[in-house]
């Protein structure tokens, strides 16, 4: 008799935990979906061409909030430490725009293809930006 009560209690507890978790996920998703907006960039890939060795290059990705809610850019992550992004830390109103500034530190000669991941409140959750180019070898490399 006792083992039956224990089994029933375990089943009830597991059921309650599962149903509360499902409710939490649904309510969180609904709140998140309500705050989503749309973002558009003039361009998501910028070809920098040839860069001089150890001469940092600044580029700007312009964007616009195309949605009906405020745009919040939570984070912009670069694929490596040679790329430093700067972005607005405040909400962007619908219809307004802004820019993500990127500094590429041209320390290392050769071709590069760097990715920036923009985390924001859009349906896709992230937007990828890219900069490509080639850092020229310093003249001293070619002297004999």
pLDDT exceeds 50 at position 57 = yes
Pairing of strands 73-78, 110-120: antiparallel
pTM for the structure as a whole: 0.72
Residues 6+ apart with CB under 8 A from 99: 60, 61, 62, 63, 88
Task: Assess contact for 73 and 117: CB atoms under 8 A.
Answer: no
pLDDT classification of 45: cutoffs 50, 70, 90 = very high
Q: Average pLDDT over the chain, rounded to whole?
A: 84
pLDDT at 15: 61
């Amino acid at each position: 008799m006792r083992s039956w009560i224990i089994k029933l209690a375990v089943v009830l507890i597991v059921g309650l935990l599962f149903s509360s978790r499902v409710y939490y996920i649904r309510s969180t998703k609904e709140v998140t979906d309500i705050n989503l907006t749309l973002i558009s960039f003039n361009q998501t890939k910028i070809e920098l061409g040839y860069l001089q060795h150890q001469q940092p290059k600044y580029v700007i990705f312009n964007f616009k909030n195309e949605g009906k809610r405020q745009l919040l850019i939570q984070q912009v992550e670069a694929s490596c430490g040679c790329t430093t992004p700067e972005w607005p830390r405040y909400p962007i109103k619908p219809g307004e725009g802004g820019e993500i500034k990127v500094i590429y530190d041209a320390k290392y000669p050769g071709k590069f293809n760097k990715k920036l991941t923009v985390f924001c409140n859009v349906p896709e959750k992230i937007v990828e930006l890219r900069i490509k180019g080639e850092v020229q070898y310093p003249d001293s490399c070619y002297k004999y």
